[in-house]
Amino acid sequence: MYMKGIFIVLLLSCISSSLWAQKNFEWDVIVDSPQNKVELLEQIKRFITEEWQIEDKEIMLEDISKGVIVTKGKLQISSVRNLVMFTHKIEYAAKFYAKDKKARIVIDNVNCVSTIQPHLGGNLEGVKPPISDTYPEKNGKKITGMSKKKYIQMMEELKADIQKTVDSYVEFMSSNPDSNIDW
């Protein structure tokens, strides 16, 4: 009987966590180009190192033969609740693909990895809000630590920041490659 109770508790916890799982923001953009795969990969690497305007970025995987570069993007968004400033650290996966005459960017797995509240004795860890298109509630209670209006504003700011990355990528990849790069 004891094992049956444990099994039911585990089953219910798995079901409840899947019902309230975070929804990911996703971007998937393809850019046409006259360049071949190798040239496009070089241009993507230049975009990542020179043009990508984010706080921190790291290349996690680079496979030239498959035409794939995977990076982790990081950014910070601030919010004010009850006259207290919170800093939310956000991470996401940015996957760059290249094949002859086409380049692609896929951004997904957007997550809040920490929320910091400055305090007189140091920083305190705050509620990490889930990233979602809708205001997350559970049984009528807010689980974000902020009002619906502030949450929606924060999500719009986050989307705008990520969209800037996508827009700059499209602009960079659509521009004519610098023919004098190896001078």
What does the pLDDT look like over 92-136, one tens digit per residue? 999 999 999 999 999 999 999 999 887 766 678 888 888 988 888
For 116-137, give one letter per residue: b (16+ CB within 10 A) or e: beeeeeeeeebbbbbbbeebbe
> What φ, ψ does residue 128 adopt, rounded to 5°?
-85, 110
Q: Which residues of the chain have pLDDT under 70?
A: 1-24, 55-56, 120-122, 140-141, 176-183
The tokens for 64 are 């030239």
Q: Is 3.30.530 the CATH classification of the domain at 23-173?
A: yes
Provide the 10 A C-beta neighbour count for residue 180.
6
pLDDT of residue 94: 94
